[in-house]
Chains A and B, each alone.
Chain A
């Protein structure tokens, strides 16, 4: 069982399927999760499902809509809506693997998580362990996305994950990942060049 005492809870599951799931959280906690971050859900049998945050949706409700369309709102009420009200913020997560009995796999889990399971942000050690496992096959899942810009997600994920590996002196991780991306995408020229453009920009940052 992986160490989780450092992972930060950031929401609860609303709905799920095998390849993706959605958690809801309160606005205040939005400081914590970021696009591309590695998160996980622990199931009843202590296995854990890992995912990458692909979308953070802030929905409105009738009150917010009214406030937006009405007269000018006092600052205090803006703050009230942001911090007091349970505005449904949805965190959309792409499943990228799971772990059972401490063994990591980059395949889709046999069962999706259940609603109200807690979503945790993985700590640095865990991110390193998961992303360095095997031949980084988890990347495949990202490339499955069709309704989102894959390169943005990759960039966000790498911006967070690459430094973690460099800290421990693992310079090979990023090189291997780049090569894997090229291998997976080389038959799709437009997509690959978009991804490489973004990676190049990232390296210049």
Chain B
């Protein structure tokens, strides 16, 4: 447990008082402590007339009651003690505080009005979105542990999951994982911002809480197997190792393995599983022409599900001599088929040529040994989690094809289950979170209308499927999708467009922009959006040995030394 610098029972000291401002323009607070004690993004509470307001510090400004006092070095002009008195009375720091929530807390427990108030308010209320403002001169304090628990929930190592702690005092801040998965969400940050570690933490949390299943497209083999951090050279345990029973590690392509770690099963995709939509979504990367659609339609019309295999078997430029001794397309040629299908042969040949890259993907098989896809779907529906590691197939083409294809299948399955449930009311579908990295490749403007991902994002869990996108270029993601995201957790972002993208769709949050720009890489993230009661910058939890102790600590059965040390990641032979 990260240490907080404050014991729970100590009341938080007053750091200032409200002097002006309002709902639209933020509250102005005069600081009564040195400015270095408060940071941008600090979570503060303001009490006024039985209400407690919760807000974020979005700006600090040095002010003076008269500019002259600020412009002149009082300590040089006047005797030292006079200068000190003068400075303390004329020079101030002003905080801009963005009020977000408010809650009716009632008078102090030991005040005479309390019993009467208690009669009227028999139950403790929940915080609501701020609708009014505190009075002038209301005292402002840094939020204490209890305030944060009031807002973000008390950590229960299940669905109220600690993702980090406040920057000033280290109070734990939790994410409500149930809410988190109710909408598509995003984890953002530049490369090296600690985005992957954060993702691992959250995924660990999701898996551990087990209220939804997760399908993780592990493009770079980061999540499933153990990895070594390029910076620290320390080993980072993988999810498979930690959640052995809950997580199925699937390798793309037969024979894929991850060092010592064997996948639970491998995935080969049958040719018959590939639809023309899947191919169309690769238009950009394969540089397909506009005519592709027509050609594919024709193929599908003729060959139904076998169109891919059939097309693959067609040869380009295959000629035979005909009866007249002239060369004409052989019956197994593309041209031959095109002609008889009424398709421009050149276009068809060109298409065939471009699709060659696809055809030779080793994990595509006409008749795969097992139905990996079905296995994946079953696993997920059974309540487990799947990490699909791409092994050596790290190209963009692979990524686009596989993620789209699988996701489409899965979503269809879920759609079907949902429809059945709506009729029968028997088996409610298990919520599913599809985790994709490099989301800008899948969800950019050009592709937005074509990918299944944008559909899922827009559907908003109509069919119990949401996304968790992990990306370093949110500005490249179609902003309609970005604006549909619920929770956003962002590490440091350098680009202004990226910052704006993360804030897309959220009501006027100007102060947050600055906060986003100043996050400490690898250390700090900003949580905001639909799933989070209020935006808050936090010091992210560390993905280390302590993390795993905290996750499993209370539930662990006694294990022997080997088990224990291996569990804790102290493997001698892990790199």
Contact = CB atoms under 8 A, between A and B. Distances in A.
Binding site of B, secondary structure by majority: helix, strand, loop or mixed? helix
Interface string A58-78: 000000000000000000000
B114 interface: no
B461 to A, nearest CB: 59
B81 A178 contact: yes
A186 interface: yes
A196 interface: yes
Nearest to A179: B85
A20 to B, nearest CB: 29
Contact of A199 (B69, B79, B89, B90): B79
A178 B77 CA distance: 15
Contacts of B89: 179, 182-183, 186
Given A178-B81, A203-B79, A196 B66 contact: no
Contacts, number: 43
Contacts of B65: 186-187
B421 interface: no
Contact of A178 (B69, B82, B90): B82
A197 interface: yes
A189 B78 contact: no
A200 B85 contact: no
B78 A175 contact: no
B30 to A, nearest CB: 14
A189 B68 contact: yes
B78 A197 contact: yes
Nearest to B89: A182
B82 A186 contact: no
A200 to B, nearest CB: 5
Interface in B72-95: 77-79, 81-82, 85-86, 89-90
A182 B69 contact: no
Nearest to A192: B86
B79 A200 contact: yes
B81 A196 contact: no
Nearest to A183: B89
A179 B88 CA distance: 10
A160 B68 CA distance: 31
Interface string A8-19: 000000000000
A178 B74 CA distance: 14
Interface string A178-195: 110011001101001100
Contacts of B66: 186-187, 189
A204 B86 CA distance: 18
Contact of A189 (B69, B77, B82): B69
B78 A199 contact: yes
Contact of B90 (A175, A186, A200): A186
7 residue pairs, one from A and one from B, having the closest CB atoms: A200-B79, A200-B78, A203-B79, A189-B68, A179-B85, A196-B78, A189-B66
25 contacts: A175-B81, A175-B85, A178-B81, A178-B82, A178-B85, A179-B85, A182-B82, A182-B89, A182-B90, A183-B89, A186-B65, A186-B86, A186-B89, A186-B90, A187-B66, A189-B66, A192-B86, A193-B68, A193-B77, A196-B78, A197-B77, A197-B78, A200-B77, A200-B79, A204-B79
Given A179-B85, A182-B89, 11 more contacts: A175-B85, A182-B85, A182-B90, A186-B66, A186-B69, A187-B65, A189-B69, A192-B86, A196-B78, A199-B82, A204-B79
